[in-house]
Every structure is written in structure tokens, then in C-alpha cells.
Amino acid sequence: MADYTGDIGQATVPKQRAKQLWKHTTVRRHVHPVLRGALAEMAPGLERCMYCGDNQGTDIDHFEPVHVNPLRTFDWSNHLLACSLCNSHLKRDLFPLADDGTPLLIDPSSEDPTAHLHLSLAVGKYIKLTDRGDATIKVFRLNREILARGRRNAYRITPLLLEDWRAAVEKGDEEDAAACAATIWEQPTADVVHAMFHQAVAPGAEVIFADDHETLALLRDPLIRTALLSAD
């Protein structure tokens, strides 16, 4: 990777050289599969896209696009696993910057999105908390109906799975408990599960879960939190 970066740095037109190298047969055959495999292990659930959390992550995305910073084409910390919709159709070469030149998009591999985005669990849509949250919602169309609907489904089904998990633990059935935990985290839009655990212990939790005290109790249960948040 360092050799490729050196090569790009010495090229007359680095942008062009970076694109050429990234698509080179040797790189596609030998570098891409290794990168993709490592990213798949870091991705949420079943190799989900790190941006939408819904589709399978099929593409290696350059967080800072190649044309913006060719020297980061082979920089591991600039690679993310994304679905082709988020990578090729929505983000494309978009990389909005703030007035001070810093990126507006949230890097899901190194930043906590909850500082910029609040998930409204009841409607399944994100609410911007900052300009960066706003830009991220817009570029990835995070509030498109198909995602909102999937999140509402996850919000509905997760408390049932948490109850199943607890019942399995009480029976001493470790295998079933592990299967429940896997189902919880491997469902699409598992960002909902993160948001539920996060919001259950944040100020205003009693209002958010006003109609569902049982769910709130499950999400605050120390046994559940310890086991499931570490299983993610």
C-alpha cells in the first residue's frame, strides 16, 4: 500500500495515476479482496453498508474521494465498506466541506454519529443535530422511506428478541441466547438497536419510551446491556 502511495506521489497527474492503479488488474485481484475481507469483519451485522446499515456492503468506498485526495487512495483509514447505492449512486464524488475546510460527512468508522444525528425511533428517521449531520442525511438520503420503514420494523421486533434472549439466559440455554443475540445484531438497520440502547440511558428516555415501559426496562437491564453491547 505504501509503495502504491509513493508511486501516486511521484506521478505528474496524481489523480489520474491513483485511479489507474486502483483499477489495475493486480490491485483488483490481490489488494481489493484482502481489504474487502477486513472491512467486512468491521462492518455492522452481515457485512452491511457502513453508511445506510441496510444493504450488503459490496464496494470499497474511499471516504475522502480519490479525486479529492489521491494520496489517500491506498490509505487503510480512508476505506469503508459501502453498498453500491450509497457508494456509486448517492455519494459518488461528493465530499462537502465546512467553511474551515474540514469534512462535513461523518466517518462511521472513526466517529460517533450520535453527536451529529438523533434517530427518531417512532418514525425511523434521523434528525440533524449539527451541520455535519445535515450533510450526511442529505448525501446518503438517510431518511428515504425504505430505510425508515426498515428501522420501524427493527424498533418493533427488537424488544421481542430482547425478551427471547432473557428467557433463554434464564433457562440456561446458552445456544439459544447466542442465536437471539446474533439475530438482534445481524438484522438490517441495526443502527436502531444502538439508538435504543443509547437513548434508554440518555436524558428524556422516559418521554421517548413513554408508551413502552417494558422496553425501557429491558434496555436498561444491566445483564442485557453487558451481554448484548459487548456482543455487537
Contact footprint for Zn ion (CB under 5 A): 49, 51-52, 55, 83, 86
Query: For 57, how many CA atoms within 13 A lie in the half-sphere containing its CB?
Result: 27
Amino acid identity of residue 15, one-letter, is K
Q: Which is nearer to Zn ion, 139 or 228 (CB)?
A: 139
Shortest distance, position 51 Cβ to Zn ion, whole Å? 5
Shortest distance, position 6 Cβ to Zn ion, whole Å? 32
The Cα–Cα gap between 206 and 203 comes to 8
- Beta-bridged to residue 167, according to DSSP, are none
Q: Which is nearer to Zn ion, 52 or 218 (CB)?
A: 52
**CB 76: neighbour CB atoms within 10 A?**
10
Shortest distance, position 58 Cβ to Zn ion, whole Å? 9
Burial of residue 89 (number of CB atoms within 10 Å: 0-12, 13-18, 19+): exposed
Contact 154, 189 (CB under 8 A): yes
Q: Which is nearer to Zn ion, 17 or 62 (CB)?
A: 62
* Nearest one of 63, 154, 46 to 102, comparing CA atoms: 63
Shortest distance, position 153 Cβ to Zn ion, whole Å? 17
Tell me the C-alpha to C-alpha distance, in Å, between residue 108 and each of 28, 87, 98, 117.
24, 14, 18, 12
Q: Which is nearer to Zn ion, 18 or 52 (CB)?
A: 52
Q: Which is nearer to Zn ion, 39 or 49 (CB)?
A: 49
Shortest distance, position 50 Cβ to Zn ion, whole Å? 8
Shortest distance, position 181 Cβ to Zn ion, whole Å? 24
Q: Which is nearer to Zn ion, 17 or 91 (CB)?
A: 91
Contact 146, 123 (CB under 8 A): no
Q: Which is nearer to Zn ion, 49 or 224 (CB)?
A: 49
Enumerate residues 6+ apart whose C-beta is below 8 A from 43. Answer: 49, 50, 57, 81
Shortest distance, position 41 Cβ to Zn ion, whole Å? 18
* Size (the chain), residues: 232
